[in-house]
Amino acid sequence: MTTDLGLASPSVLLMEAQTGTVLYEKNASEQRSPASITKIMTLLLIFEELEKGTLQLTDEVTTSAHARSMGGSQVFLEEGEKQTVETMIKCIVVASGNDASVAMAEHIAGTESEFVSRMNQKAKELGMNDTKFEDCCGLTDSDGHYTTAADVAKMSRELIERFPQILNYSSIWMEEITHVTQKGSKPFTLTNTNKLIRGYEGCVGLKTGSTSKAKYCVSAVAKKNDLTMLAVVMGAPDYKVRFADAASLFQYGFSSCSIYIDRERDPLPELSVVYGKQDTAELEYAEEFRYLTTGGTVIGEVEKTMELPEEVQAPIQKGECAGRVVYKADGEELGSVAILYGADVARAGMWDLFGCTMKQYFLGTA
């Protein structure tokens, strides 16, 4: 990319998260220690368990001696202390609690090492080819624990696009939790480590990190004008530069981009089906169409064309492609969205066809 934003941090990347478009990068494939932005992957696996139903927000998680022993940033959980999954999520994403991260890893996978194996497997699935995790919180200074700004953007996008509710937690500025142990009850205030929540209008998360090896890192999310910007900063010399560079990336993204979103989609017809147990097939859009313009350009009037066959033959499977909607502006195709079958339609048997023929005969002679 030709633009030079003059950022002090050695490795950065800016992405429009809804479309996955990379808008700016510098040394984004350089492997670096991630510190606590490691926890983005930990949170992704937690939310996947919630999605599967194997975990509930109200489940209680017990802190082990190993989890309690974590140094660095922590929320001072005691051995044997129980907190709900939802409270643990807040402890991880707001206060960057290493103890809470390990407690959740053990609760989900039995051991932290097994959980880390799942983190690395997920990284492979996401195409994070320059990433290797050795713990679930980023506290380690091992050379074997590394990632890149590009890979951090991939896992951050996966988290916020699949589980946007994470932003409800990462945008909390301060919240009080209660430690309940054998010593009694004691309040503890979680304070967000991401100062952009208060320092940049529209910022809603996501995660900071810092160690002597990693220096200062952040993967930050901001929303304005239907755009979602994801700024990753790694290796900043101090926390002020980390946030200043992220803010500069946001400013560049919001000032140079606009997005078209088709929120008023045309109603879909029902397709005629030949040799089916039903006469028609339901249709549905595969996704919402989004088109990003960059460099300050403005999109013209958008024209939509629906491409569908007049009829189809059974059998039909739900989710198969039936056609598409094509989007054009100023004669140029912007892209398309697939139209899928919304339900199965089985092929009619001999008796089904016979019954249909007899019905038509009697209706025709009535």
- Please state the residue numbers annotated as binding site: 207
Q: Reply yes or no on whether 11 is catalytic.
A: no
From the number of C-beta atoms within 10 Å of its C-beta (0-12, 13-18, 19+), residue 166 rates as buried
**Burial class of residue 201 (count of CB atoms within 10 Å of its CB; 0-12, 13-18, 19+):** exposed
Check if the beta carbon of residue 12 is closer than 8 Å to that of residue 32. no
Rounded Cα distance between 94 and 192, Å, is: 5
36 is catalytic: yes
By C-alpha distance, which of 215, 213, 190, 194 is closest to 203? 194
Amino acid 290 reads: R
Q: Is 48 strand, coil or helix?
A: helix
Asked whether 196 and 220 are in contact (CB, 8 A), the reply is: yes
Residue of 9, 36, 64, 248 marked catalytic = 36
Query: Do β-strands 290-293 and 258-261 pair in parallel, antiparallel, or remain unpaired?
Result: antiparallel
In this structure, how many other beta carbons lie within 10 angstroms of the beta carbon of residue 330? Answer: 10
Sign of the C-alpha dihedral computed for residues 342, 348, 352 and 357 taken in this order: positive
Which is catalytic among the residues 11, 96, 156, 171? 96
315 phi and psi, to 5 degrees? -85, 155
Return d(Cα 284, Cα 124) in angstroms, integer. Answer: 31
255 is catalytic: no
Q: What are φ and ψ of residue 322, in 5° steps?
A: -105, -30
Known binding-site positions for substrate: 207
Tokens at residue 86, please? 């939802």
DSSP conformation class of 269: P
Judged on CB neighbours under 10 Å (0-12, 13-18, 19+), 255 is exposed
Q: How many residues does the chain have?
A: 366
DSSP state at residue 77: P
Burial 290-325 (b: 16+ CB within 10 A, else e): bbbbeeeeebeeeeeeeeeeeebebebeeeeebbbb
Contact 325, 293 (CB under 8 A): no
Q: Among 9, 11, 26, 39, which one carries the catalytic annotation? A: 39
Enzyme catalytic residues? 36, 39, 96
